[in-house]
Structure 1
Amino acid sequence: MSDTIAALRAALAKPGDTSSDFDLNPETVLPEGRKLRPAGVLIAVTLYGGAPRVLLTKRSSALKHHPGQIAFPGGKQDEGDGSVTAAALREAREEIGLPEDLPQVLGEMPGHETVTGFFVTPVVAVVDTPFTPVAEPGEVEEVFSVPLAHVTNPANFIIESRRWRGDRRYYFTVPYGPYYIWGATARMLRALAARMA
């Protein structure tokens, strides 16, 4: 447990740049002066029940945005949230039933710009007390976890592409079993993997 916390703290202490959904598409020209909405996601690493794992969600297929995609618990920062960390913790409670006092927040990674106009701050935390996840039925179809070792090994990441708004867009994926982890979630995990390598 202490080794994992030490490794995560060391990773967070390393310097690094922000990332974006356009990292693998250098020809993309983003408009100057664009307004990005702040958001926070929780990279929650569980330290109970064996090897450390990262909690993830499969979004409801009924959602308008990103239906069925794999995501961290989290969302946009509301007026009542004192910070993006507070937003990430609140959203994790709402989406997966994670009590806000359970995660031990270790720090934040540099932000990530999404194609949907958010500036997302990944908040890294550890959870050493077991809890029973409860998926919020309107947003979350499933709560699951993947081994931290799998998503922090750069060799497990693949670059794939698809047509998006008439252009070919490249992005990271880090598949695990039946779960196709891609896009912003995979990109933020790839940033963590680079820091832990």
Structure 2
Amino acid sequence: MSKVLPERERVTTGLLRTLHPVLHPPQAPAVNWADLGPLFELQGEPDVPADWREAAVLIPLVARETGIHVLLTRRTETLRQHSGQVSFPGGARDAADADIVATALREAQEEVGVSPRKFHPVGFLDRFATISRYVVTPVVAWLDSDYRAVPNPQEVSEVFEIPLAHLLDEAQYFEQAVDFGGHVRHVGEFKSHPQAPHRVWGATAAMLRMLRTAIVRGSPSP
């Protein structure tokens, strides 16, 4: 583990420069509304409806001897929304949640069976709107490497890790133009990796790109 600790410290230092602080969650509108908004304008919905639900996801970073990894899940095929897709642990905010971090930690425990004590939040990425009418706050956190995942079979079919280096490599990312009722969207996707046999695309890929931007901007200039 000693080999990766300097890298963890470097990444943490950079993220603390660029993320929203843990004590000050982002309040601005979703960073991707310029792209997503026209899809709803086409349906006569020019503004984000008041009944859109607040949600949170955890972006867990795991320091291992082989380098830093990102934990991801694959949703079960029986879910009503986004079935079978790769995602982060997370979900809608409940009235009983103390704050948006509590939402992310609770959902992670419910979905992958990992105690909140295993996570160490660093900060927030910008809020992100999804086509399923959620406004998501991504919480970047370190996850203890000795965690043991126990997926909830009703929600998660698989928990896996992918090297952060793969996600930071510009050559591993591409976009495809998709037509939605006359509005062209560019949907991102990562190339496959031996440790990630499932398709990583859409909102998950977009938030991973946001993470990449935060890490790159926070890194010291050469």
Is the TM-score greater than 0.5?
yes
* Larger Rg belongs to: 2
For 1:127, give the aligned amino acid.
Answer: L
CA distance, structure 2, for counterparts of residue 26 and residue 43 of structure 1 = 25
1:20 aligned residue = 32
The structural deviation recorded for 1:48 is 3.1
28-37 or 131-140: which moved more?
Answer: 28-37
Matched position secondary structure for 1:146: strand
* Equivalent residue in structure 1 for 2:47, among 21, 28, 32: 32
Cα gap change, 1:22/1:72 in structure 2, threshold over 3 Å: closer, same or farther?
A: farther
Q: CA deviation at 1:176?
A: 2.9
- Tell whether 2:69 aligns with 1:65: no
Q: Percent identity over the alignment?
A: 33
State the Cα distance separating 1:138 from its structure 2 match.
0.5
More deviation in 135-144 or 12-21? 12-21
The DSSP-based 3-state class of the residue aligned with 2:64 is coil
Output the CA distance in 2 between the equivalents of 1:150 and 1:21: 27
In structure 1, stretches of 5+ residues that fail to align are none
2:209 equivalent in structure 1: 190
RMSD of Structure 2 on Structure 1 (CA): 2.4
One-letter identity of the residue aligned with 1:7: V
In the alignment, is the contact (CA less than 8 A) between 1:88 and 1:123 conserved in 2?
A: yes
**Corresponding residue for residue 126 of structure 1:** 142
**Counterpart amino acid of residue 46 in structure 2:** P
Q: Structure 1 residue 142: deviation in Å? A: 0.6
Counting only pairs closer than 5 Å after superposition, residues 98-117 of structure 1 correspond to structure 2 as 98-117=114-133
Task: Provide Cα deviations, 1:78-99, integer angstroms capped at 9, x if missing partner.
Answer: 1111111111111111111111
3-state DSSP of counterpart to 2:118: coil
Comparing 33-42 and 8-17, the one that deviates more: 8-17
Give a deviation string over 1:36-68, Cα, whole Å, max 9, x none.
311110000111353111110010011110010
Q: For 2:59 and 2:133, locate their aligned partners in 1 and report how far apart those are by CA, in whole Å.
A: 20
**Does the C-alpha gap of structure 1 residues 154 and 193 become closer, same or farther in structure 2, counting only changes over 3 Å?**
farther
Q: Secondary structure at the match of 1:86?
A: helix
Structure 1 residues 171 and 141: CA distance shift in structure 2, 3 A: same
Task: Give the TM-score taking structure 2 as reference length.
Answer: 0.79
2:11 aligns with: 7
Amino acid at match of 1:32: D
1:139 equivalent to 2:155? Answer yes
1:9/1:37 CA distance change after superposition, 3 Å: farther
Counterpart AA for 2:66 = G
Q: Give the secondary structure class of the aligned counterpart of 2:81.
A: coil
Amino acid at match of 2:67: A
* Contact preservation (8 Å) 1:21, 1:183: no
Partner of 1:169: 185
Contact kept? 1:154, 1:194, Cα under 8 Å: no
**What amino acid does structure 1 have at the position aligned with 2:32?**
S
Pairs aligned (count): 196
| Helix, strand or coil at the partner of 2:192 | coil
Structure 1 residues 58 and 126, CA, compared in 2 at 3 Å: closer, same or farther?
A: same
The two structures have a TM-score, normalised by structure 1, of 0.88
**In structure 1, the residue corresponding to 2:105 is in which secondary structure?**
helix
More helix per residue: 1 or 2? 2
Indicate the residue corresponding to 1:83 in structure 2.
99
Partners of 1:157 and 1:173 within 8 A in 2: yes
Unmatched runs of 5 consecutive residues or more in structure 2 = 21-27, 217-222
